[in-house]
Amino acid sequence: MCELFGFSGTEEKDLTALLKEFFDHSNDHPNGWGTAELAGESPVITTEPVAAYKSRLVPEILGRGVKSRLYMAHIRRATIGNVFKENCHPFSLRDKSGRVWTLIHNGTIFNGLELLKYKRVQRGTTDSERVLLYLIDCVNALIDRSPTPPGGYERFKAVENCVASIAYRNKLNLIIYDGSQMYAHVNMKDTLYYREDESGVLIATVPLDSNLWQPLPLTTLCAFKNGKLRYRGHPHRKEYVDAIGAAMQSLDFTI
């Protein structure tokens, strides 16, 4: 599938070594890469539809060093959507209140009838972009029925309900940033981890250094702000299981 990286900090952190390790995995995820610097008023997104290990830009970025308080990165192994720039993560979109949302996804939407209508309006062809379009519609519906702009908890509940509504039979590992809070969701066991230190919280598909990383709570949306856990939702229990992989592991090849 893909790999995800996110950082929400109490302070700026040097992410260079972690990102070098992350991009070193692009041999297995060769269909594009992207980053989002989130600490400003609007995300600064950089993407390329080439493998990060073939990119001339990635070594320049790492050579300059990456220090940030809020950051996302993604390396893609395509399952749905061709290999071109419009299909590279992160995806970003503004809601009715002017708030900019940024999303990266690891997984595939197999059961997504409610997302098909977004094929007419999306810029690329990925199911991941359709997830963001659906999320923005959920948030806009909240804005329409709220007398004042939704606060952090109201936005959290909107994201939680949105994600739970499309999680059944879909692999939906997500990192989302709404301009204030960073959300993380995983519904396949041992496919998204986090690590906390004095500068904030790191999130990644696989541990990126020798420090202790823990699996994120399964089927449970978490929201972080300024490097600290702010909200933890209720498990929706719509776990995704790789049926083919599970079947292969259960076979006895002993002769």
Average pLDDT score over residue span 78-85: 78
Q: What digits encode the pLDDT tens for the residues 119-168?
A: 999 999 999 999 999 999 999 999 999 999 999 999 999 999 999 999 99
Average pLDDT in the chain:
93
Residue 218 tokens read as 């399964």
Confidence band for 242, pLDDT divided at 50, 70 and 90: confident
Q: Say which amino acid occupies 116.
A: L
Query: Rounded to whole angstroms, how far apart are CA atoms 37 and 69?
Result: 9
Helix axes 127-144, 152-165, angle to 10 degrees: 130
* Alpha helices (H) in 5-56, listed in sequence order: 16-23
Q: Which fold has domain 2-250?
A: Glutamine Phosphoribosylpyrophosphate, subunit 1, domain 1 (3.60.20)
Confidence band for 249, pLDDT divided at 50, 70 and 90: very low
**155 SS3 class:** helix
pLDDT for residue 243 is more than 70: no
Query: Rounded to whole angstroms, how far apart are CA atoms 46 and 39?
Result: 14
- C-beta separation of 164 from 148 below 8 A: no
Query: Rounded to whole angstroms, how far apart are CA atoms 254 and 171?
Result: 31
107 contact partners, CB below 8 Å, separation of at least 6:
1, 2, 170, 171, 172, 173, 188, 240
pLDDT for residue 65 is more than 60: yes
Q: What digits encode the pLDDT tens for the residues 13-43?
A: 999 999 999 999 999 999 999 999 998 889 9
- For the chain, the structural domain boundaries read 2-250
pLDDT for residue 250 is more than 50: no
pLDDT for residue 248 is more than 90: no
Q: What digits encode the pLDDT tens for the residues 85-122?
A: 999 999 999 999 999 999 999 999 998 888 999 999 99
Confidence band for 252, pLDDT divided at 50, 70 and 90: very low
- C-beta separation of 101 from 94 below 8 A: yes
Q: Residue for token digits 């059944």?
A: 168
Global pTM reads 0.94
Residue 156 tokens read as 């959290």
